[in-house]
Amino acid sequence: MSLLHRPHVSPEHVTRVRHLLMAIRGDKLALFALLIFVFYCLVALLAPLLSPYDVNSTDFMDLENAELAPYWQTGDSRFLLGTDTQGRDLLSVILYGTRLSLTIGVCAVLIQVLLGVSIGLLSGYIGGRLDAFLMRVADIQLSFSTMMVAIVVLAIFQTMFGNAAYQQLAMLMLILVLGIAEWPIFARTVRACVFAEKEKEYVDAARILGVSKLHIMLRHILPNTVSPILVILTIQIANAIVAEAALSFLGLGMPPSQPSLGALISSGFNYLFSGAWWISVFPSVTLILLIFVMNLLGDWLRDHLNPKEIRG
Amino acid sequence: MSKPLVTFHRLEKVFRARSEWRWPLRWPRKQSRHPKVYALNGIDLSIHRGETLCVVGETGCGKSTLARLLVGLERPDEGAVYFDDQRIDQLSDSQRMPFRKKIQMVFQNPYASLNPRMTVYQILREAIRLHHAGWSRTQVDQFIEELLQSVGLTKDAEDRYPHEFSGGQRQRISLARALSVEPKLIIADEPLAALDVSVQAQVLNLMMDKQKELGLTYLFITHDLAVVEHFATRVAVMYLGRVCEVADRATLFDAPKHPYTQALLSSIPRLDNLDLEPIHLTGEVPTPLEKPMGCSFCNRCPLANQRCYEQIPMLVTQSDGSQVACHAVEEGRTWK
Amino acid sequence: MSLLSVNGLSVKFRQRHQDLVALHDVSFSLDRGERIAIVGESGAGKSVLGYALVNLLMKPGYIDAGSVQFDGRELTKLSPKQWQGIRGKKIAMIFQDPMVTLNPVLTIGAQMIEAIRSHTRIAYKDARKLAIEKLAHVRISAPSQRFDQFPHELSGGMRQRVIIAIALLLNPEIIIAIALLLNPEIIIADEPTTALDVTIQAEILQLLKQICADNGVALILITHDFGVVSRIAERTFVMYAGRIVEQGPTLEIINDPQHPYTQGLLNALPQMALPGQRLNQIKGNMPPLNDQPSGCAFHPRCPYAEERCRQSPPGFVFSGVSTVACYVVEDMLSEFSQYDGGDSYE
Ligand SMILES: Nc1ncnc2c1ncn2[C@@H]1O[C@H](COP(=O)(O)OP(=O)(O)OP(=O)(O)O)[C@@H](O)[C@H]1O
Ligand SMILES: Nc1ncnc2c1ncn2[C@@H]1O[C@H](COP(=O)(O)OP(=O)(O)OP(=O)(O)O)[C@@H](O)[C@H]1O
Ligand code: SF4
Ligand code: SF4
Ligand SMILES: [Mg+2]
Ligand SMILES: [Mg+2]
């Protein structure tokens, strides 16, 4: 069909946001996923208010209470989901763990976005040698798998500076490593978009008017690459959370004193078959649900934000 | 005659392969095969003040390239472009600024020439901010309102996005953007191609009104000879990067001289001359991949002789004022 | 008996609140070997009609009422299976704007080969050969060199031709239909040449006309260009807002249009005004589907509109030259028992 029809067919599709809101109202599954995601975010934000115990207080960890089963098995109303191996209330730990996992995921992806988008924009708009160089760097970066890089870097860091220093800086390190390892994903997508956009006549029109290069990149081209960025963003956050969980599981992530979801699963894993299943299972379920919901949202966004742009 | 506004002097443009660094995105192939494209091969042409110069010619003959050179989106390899007697083709971005105000462009595709993420107000303000930096908010607002009115749109168009408008309305917005810096010359690269006949009439009318009102000069690129016949003051016919004929509208349509012009004119379906049989050009479709030795039209020209293959014909002024680049016309050979 | 006869065809698009009517009660017939044209502005419903005839309406669209008979067979009731024997074989269609856009970061060759390979398993070398052949087919010069270029390195017209070449690759039935290997009896061509420049447009139209004339194939040409119509079609149907408003022999319609809309369209052509003078534009725009005027759909733009035009839609009358749906023409006819020349536009 010719493009000429668009104004007639959908006068309602005024803005991207409104378009998405309208679409999500009609899609039960996506709406459900969105609600759960919002719930997670709220939990993460409000963890200190919601959790029944203050995880920072000294009496929070009490080995006497270690490995208590959930409320419905013990009848012990102090610990709704039971306790972990160190006697911490599992519910509180999970709340804080979710907060940590999400924070690490989001921050890591923010770094990815910052690096990826600026490199992608430069590479795509300026092109030529610079583009070739940056893209080769991206290729090289991507050819090492994220996990491998992370394991090597974190392991080296741990042996060099010792465990104590590591425990303090673990979160920062995780964010940096995960952030730096995957920027090429954003860079490539943005670059492809910029290539598509910069051939369009509105960019020529801006150049003819004398608009500066920087302004063209930021004001004209960047807003037109937001849709694909948004899609990758959701999926990348999920990926970063999973990566962090995997690293924690391997003992390279968050220390047991400050457990993320991955570290919790890891610490409970050894007890899985010795009866204390809850220590591992509850955090796992929390994590899986979060990842599932984020992937659902990512896929849904991909379908609803101009799919053509994203393929590039 | 007064000095022309724009002069192209022996303009040449060759497109070369970009750096080979982009190899991973290409299919396997030999590197040396990437061609040079000879888009313009020595253009001599001038645009007079207040006129409408229409440029016509087959796909790929270099019309858009000519326009892009003039507005500074590309640089020529050879030759020069003069605007008001000043050379403008080698200027840096900042040196070019005063000329940007005088030369503006309207594009072919009304769906790609406006940024989909900016409102009409933002689109117009951008131009004004650059070229009337000192204006106050209210001055800008008022100017935009007047501008929109002058192209037949109302104030409530301001806060809408381009996709809410039809093709013809978008071309009006494009024209408003071009007019916002009060230019002397507007280049229009097939501005009607994506529009319906009835909408074409609206846009053409608007362009003519503006020309009368503001004394604009147009460089108008089009495929539609009916539009040319209606709208042009003078017409330049291009073939493979060269100008083969330049003439007043009436002269060109009444007495086309160059063999290519004749073929071109006969090939358009016309309502006023239904039984005219088109002249069919034989021979290979032209390629801009080699630099032509003689006349670029020689392998399709029914009048070609040995000289045409060896010597490039120059634009020669005829008795009726038209300029034709053809050996046959010069020698007085004609169609059989 | 006519080859194709369409009776009271109406097409709607399903919407949440109320279905939108895209075609209102369209009727016409086509004889064997006849060439007709359907003209009208953008959004008039020309493509919808084309798609409806071959039962390819896009999702929310459906045929609400009416019949399409091909060779005595009712087409609207056929199963998809039965359609296979007809679409592309008996009725070929050349689509407008084939929804292919070029990816700016791949060479056109890479994109064409991708298209070929996603449909058939052939070696790279053969695919390349085929792609280059197709580029030559749409008259792109030096196709083997163009093959390795990126979209932005081509001129605007060439890019459009590449898109057509890809469409040709994707719809082999169409090439076959053009080559007449399957002997279609009708070709529906939806704006086949709008993307091309005039010289090549003329060539392709000539070719299309020749093929149809030589083989007795009927042609339905959809376009908004009266110049094209005048060269090809024997009869013309003018559409406005999903309705046929005037139909008749092409030359008569062009020389002596009856319906105010047809007059407006023809008067808007640049050759209808003196050089340098303002063109006669039709005021206003084609109404969108969700905002259709009552009565005669043209009334908000019609210079002769009266009260009754707003009330109820006019019926068809035969003016002596063409069949027209307009009250004013109807009145004129009853006033002069004998036909008395077309009124000019203002
Ligand atoms: N950036 C580029 N890189 C390589 N070749 C180019 C580039 N831009 C244009 N060309 C080539 O220059 C020639 C002239 O192109 P141009 O766009 O000027 O044609 P045109 O006359 O405007 O054609 P159309 O009527 O199809 O728009 C073509 O052969 C085209 O392939
Ligand atoms: N899928 C769809 N959903 C809703 N409305 C549609 C759809 N497809 C087409 N329409 C509407 O149907 C009407 C007729 O469209 P159609 O494509 O037939 O126009 P056309 O006459 O072919 O125009 P053009 O010259 O631009 O090709 C338009 O108003 C269009 O907006
Ligand atoms: S110079 Fe020769 S080849 Fe060229 S147009 Fe004239 S006669 Fe034809
Ligand atoms: S019926 Fe009335 S409104 Fe419709 S075209 Fe005729 S005069 Fe105009
Ligand atoms: Mg062009
Ligand atoms: Mg159509």
- Cα(C95) to ligand 6 centroid in Å equals 9
Identify the domain containing residue C281 by its residue range: 4-90+188-200+214-295
Residue B237 scores a pLDDT above 90 = yes
- Cα(B10) to ligand 1 centroid in Å equals 18
Query: What's the rounded mean pLDDT across residues C30-50?
Result: 89
Decide if B104 and A211 are in contact by the 8 Å CB cutoff. Answer: no
Task: Give the model's pLDDT for residue C73.
Answer: 87
The ligand placed nearest to the CA atom of residue B263 is 3
Q: Residue B328 CA: which ligand 3 atom is closest?
A: 7
Task: Give the model's pLDDT for residue B23.
Answer: 47
Task: Give the model's pLDDT for residue C88.
Answer: 64
Amino acid at B240: L
Decide if A2 and C47 are in contact by the 8 Å CB cutoff. Answer: yes
Task: Give the model's pLDDT for residue B279.
Answer: 65
Decide if A312 and C105 are in contact by the 8 Å CB cutoff. Answer: yes
Residue B85 burial (10 A CB sphere; 0-12, 13-18, 19+): exposed
CB contacts of B289 in chain C (<8 Å) are 141-142, 145
How is B229-245 classified by DSSP, letter by letter?
A: HHH-SEEEEEETTEEEE
The confidence band for C203, taking pLDDT boundaries of 50, 70 and 90, is: low
Average pLDDT, chain C: 80
Q: Is residue C51 part of a domain?
A: yes
Residue B67 scores a pLDDT above 90 = yes
- What sign results for the dihedral spanned by CA atoms A58, A63, A64, A68? positive
Q: Is residue C118 part of a domain?
A: yes
Query: What's the rounded mean pLDDT across residues B116-122?
Result: 88
Identify the domain containing residue A261 by its residue range: 11-43+89-311
Taking the alpha carbons at both ends of chain C, their separation in whole angstroms is 41
Nearest CA-CA distance, residue C319 and chain A, Å: 33
Task: Give the model's pLDDT for residue A1.
Answer: 28
Residue B280 scores a pLDDT above 90 = no
Q: Is residue A65 part of a domain?
A: no
**Which residues in chain A land under pLDDT 70?**
1-16, 19, 55-63, 65-66, 68, 71, 75-79, 305-312
Residue C206 scores a pLDDT above 80 = no
Question: CB of C300 closer than 6 A to ligand 2?
Answer: no
Nearest CA-CA distance, residue B175 and chain A, Å: 11
CB A48 within 8 A of CB A99: no
Residue nearest to atom 3 of ligand 3 (CA): B298
Residue B74 scores a pLDDT above 80 = yes
In Å, how far from its chain's centre is CA A102? 7
Mutation to test the A interface, candidates C41, C42, C154, most A Cβ within 10 Å:
C42
Decide if B271 and C279 are in contact by the 8 Å CB cutoff. Answer: no
Q: Does B241 touch chain C (CB under 8 A)?
A: no
Residue C100 scores a pLDDT above 70 = no
With a threshold of 0.90, tell me whether the complex ipTM lies above it.
no
Dist. CA B277–CA B255, nearest whole Å: 17
Candidates B243, B260, B295, B324: which one to mutate for ligand 3, based on the most atoms within 8 Å of Cβ?
A: B295
The confidence band for C321, taking pLDDT boundaries of 50, 70 and 90, is: confident
Dist. CA C330–CA B245, nearest whole Å: 51
Residue B245 scores a pLDDT above 90 = yes
The ligand placed nearest to the CA atom of residue B238 is 1
Q: Is residue C70 part of a domain?
A: yes
- Would you state the torsion angle of the CA atoms of residues A228, A231, A237, A243, taken in this order, to the nearest 10 degrees? -80
The confidence band for B21, taking pLDDT boundaries of 50, 70 and 90, is: very low
CB contacts of A208 in chain B (<8 Å) are 71-73, 100, 103-105
Question: CB of C314 closer than 6 A to ligand 4?
Answer: yes
Residue B20 scores a pLDDT above 50 = no
Give yes or no: residues C86 and C195 share one domain. yes
The confidence band for C195, taking pLDDT boundaries of 50, 70 and 90, is: low
Task: Give the model's pLDDT for residue A181.
Answer: 86
Q: Is residue A55 part of a domain?
A: no
CA atoms within 13 A on the CB side of B160: 18
C156-170 helix and C108-117 helix, angle to the nearest 10 degrees: 10
More confident residue, B156 or A11: B156
Domain ranges (residues) in chain B: 262-336
Residue A306 burial (10 A CB sphere; 0-12, 13-18, 19+): middle
- Cα(B223) to ligand 5 centroid in Å equals 10
Q: Is residue C25 part of a domain?
A: yes
Task: Give the model's pLDDT for residue A7.
Answer: 32
Query: What's the rounded mean pLDDT across residues C193-199?
Result: 58
Question: CB of B242 closer than 6 A to ligand 1?
Answer: no
Q: Is residue C139 part of a domain?
A: yes
Task: Give the model's pLDDT for residue B51.
Answer: 93
Dist. CA C184–CA C28, nearest whole Å: 20
* Residue for token pair 């490199």: A119
Decide if A200 and B174 are in contact by the 8 Å CB cutoff. Answer: no
The confidence band for C131, taking pLDDT boundaries of 50, 70 and 90, is: confident
Is 0.90 surpassed by the pTM of this model? no
Choose the weakest-confidence range: A8-22, B202-216, C124-138.
A8-22
Q: Is residue A106 part of a domain?
A: yes
Query: What's the rounded mean pLDDT across residues C233-260?
Result: 93
Question: CB of B162 closer than 6 A to ligand 1?
Answer: no
Query: What's the rounded mean pLDDT across residues C282-287?
Result: 83
From the list C283, C191, C194, C299, the residue with the least C-alpha distance to C243 is: C299
The confidence band for C35, taking pLDDT boundaries of 50, 70 and 90, is: very high
User: What percent of chain B has a predicted confidence (pLDDT) above 90?
Assistant: 36
Q: Does B100 touch chain A (CB under 8 A)?
A: yes
Residue B275 scores a pLDDT above 70 = no
Decide if A5 and C290 are in contact by the 8 Å CB cutoff. Answer: no
Mutation to test the C interface, candidates A3, A4, A6, A8, most C Cβ within 10 Å:
A8
The winner for highest mean pLDDT among A90-99, B12-21, C245-254 is: C245-254
Give yes or no: residues C79 and C177 share one domain. no
- Would you state the torsion angle of the CA atoms of residues C49, C52, C53, C56, taken in this order, to the nearest 10 degrees? 130
The confidence band for C99, taking pLDDT boundaries of 50, 70 and 90, is: very low
Q: Is residue A264 part of a domain?
A: yes
Dist. CA C95–CA C177, nearest whole Å: 13
Residue B29 scores a pLDDT above 60 = no
Task: Give the model's pLDDT for residue B45.
Answer: 93
More confident residue, A270 or B330: B330
Residue C200 scores a pLDDT above 80 = no
The ligand placed nearest to the CA atom of residue C327 is 4
Task: Give the model's pLDDT for residue B277.
Answer: 62
Domain count of the fold of chain A: 1
Q: Name the DSSP class of C99.
A: S
Query: What's the rounded mean pLDDT across residues C200-222?
Result: 77
Q: Residue B13 CA: which ligand 1 atom is closest?
A: 12
Task: Give the model's pLDDT for residue B70.
Answer: 93
Choose the weakest-confidence range: A170-174, B262-266, C137-141.
C137-141
Question: Rounded to 5 degrees, what are φ and ψ at C29?
Answer: -140, 160
Q: Name the residue of chain C whose CA is nearest to A191's CA.
A: C105
Q: Residue C199 is encoded by which pair of tokens?
A: 């010289």
Question: CB of C40 closer than 6 A to ligand 4?
Answer: no
Dist. CA A246–CA A253, nearest whole Å: 8
In Å, how far from its chain's centre is CA A241? 6
More confident residue, B186 or C194: B186
Domain count of the fold of chain C: 2
Query: What's the rounded mean pLDDT across residues C186-195?
Result: 71
Dist. CA B65–CA B41, nearest whole Å: 11
Amino acid at C135: L
* A-contacting residues in B 179-198 (Cβ below 8 Å): 181, 194
A278-304 helix and A16-25 helix, angle to the nearest 10 degrees: 120
Q: Residue A5 CA: which ligand 2 atom is closest?
A: 31
CB B268 within 8 A of CB C198: yes
Decide if A2 and C103 are in contact by the 8 Å CB cutoff. Answer: no
CATH number at residue A195: 1.10.3720.10
Question: CB of B60 closer than 6 A to ligand 1?
Answer: yes
* C-contacting residues in B 118-157 (Cβ below 8 Å): none
The confidence band for B243, taking pLDDT boundaries of 50, 70 and 90, is: very high
C139 dihedral zone (left: phi>0; alpha: psi -120 to 50; beta): left
The winner for highest mean pLDDT among A121-135, A152-166, B191-205, C86-100 is: A121-135
List strands edge to edge, sheet with B185-189. B103-106, B185-189, B217-221, B52-57, B234-239, B242-248, B323-324, B316-317
Mutation to test the A interface, candidates B105, B113, B115, B172, most A Cβ within 10 Å:
B115
Dist. CA A225–CA C259, nearest whole Å: 48
A90-126 helix and A28-50 helix, angle to the nearest 10 degrees: 120
Amino acid at A109: V
Task: Give the model's pLDDT for residue B290.
Answer: 75
CATH number at residue C18: 3.40.50.300
